[in-house]
Amino acid sequence: MASTAMAATPSVTAFPRPQTPLIEARQLSKTYRTATGAGVHALDGIDLAIGDGEFVAIVGPSGCGKSTLLRLIAGLDEHEDGGLDLDGRPITGPSREVGVVFQSANLLPWLTVRENVRLPLRVGGNKAKEDGRVDQLLDMTGLGDFGPRYPYELSGGMQQRAGICRALVRDPRILLMDEPFGALDALTRERMNLELQRIWQANAKTIVLITHSISEAIFLGDRVIVMSARPGKIIADLNVPIPRPRNLDGIISHPDYARLSREIRGLLNAQGEVE
């Protein structure tokens, strides 16, 4: 089914891959060991190249290794086989060039929003410059008046915006996002999609987003990577040729939106999971 759809629409996969990728995985594999010593084969033979400034969305069945792939790129886990490079250098651990946003904002409840955002900055830096960066990010995400507040005083969407600010405060080149809006209600999630698109366009970051939402992946991504069930493999790498900036009403009526939705849904149905 997938090969027929892709053959019928060659433009979907005709996206030019970066000649000098910022992130590159080559035959990347990962196996976890359980407490009993058994192996859980999470990823198998991942080949992926992501260019500087790209927005790449990743979808796939639950447990297919999407989060594992993100943790490997972030340098939070080690891979066994294959290669994984950031800007041509092997990834051996966390990097200041990479910011991470998880599903939960994980703000420290005893710190104010401003203090939470400032947390990743090293002690002993230029405090005036760093405070200016914090204020700039809070203003950019509509949280300028909420710096003195505590996390419990913010809505879920506002907490996620604060989490994004914290990930951006060191001005990383890459922003990795693991289902950051999964726990939000539908309306707040739509607003956060628009906010994330605006932040990406304003900051020219490379963003890798994991999501279970087909519509979210198409709305935000330059490309949508579709993964198989565990052990995770890439079964499709699809271009999203929809002009930016995108709005929620306009994108639904775009013919490429319907076509991509059908193709991605068909691929996920074949894996036994669909949104």
DSSP designation for 104: S
pLDDT at 194 over 50: yes
The sheet with strand 89-90 has its strands ordered as 39-50, 23-33, 81-86, 89-90
Count the residues in the chain: 275
pLDDT of res. 11: 33
CATH for the 2-97+172-270 domain, from 3.40.630.30, 3.40.228.10, 2.60.120.260, 3.40.50.300: 3.40.50.300
Q: Which among 36-40, 57-61, 199-203 has the top mean pLDDT?
A: 57-61
184 pLDDT band, cuts 50/70/90, is confident
Q: Where is 45: in which H helix or E strand?
A: strand 39-50
Across the range 16-22, mean pLDDT stands at: 67
pLDDT at residue 187 in the model: 85
CB atoms within 10 A of CB 59: 29
Q: What is the mean pLDDT of residues 165-173?
A: 90
Q: C-alpha 51: how far from its chain's center? A: 14
pTM attached to this predicted model:
0.85
pLDDT surpassing 70 at residue 132? yes
Residues 234-253, mean pLDDT to the nearest whole number: 92
pLDDT of residue 69: 96
Mean pLDDT of the chain: 86
Which sign, positive or negative, has the C-alpha torsion 237, 218, 102, 145? Answer: positive
User: Is the pLDDT assigned to residue 12 strictly greater than 50?
Assistant: no
Report pLDDT for 19: 58
Domain ranges of the chain: 2-97+172-270, 109-169
| Nearest alpha-carbon partner for 159 in 169, 146, 173, 145 | 146
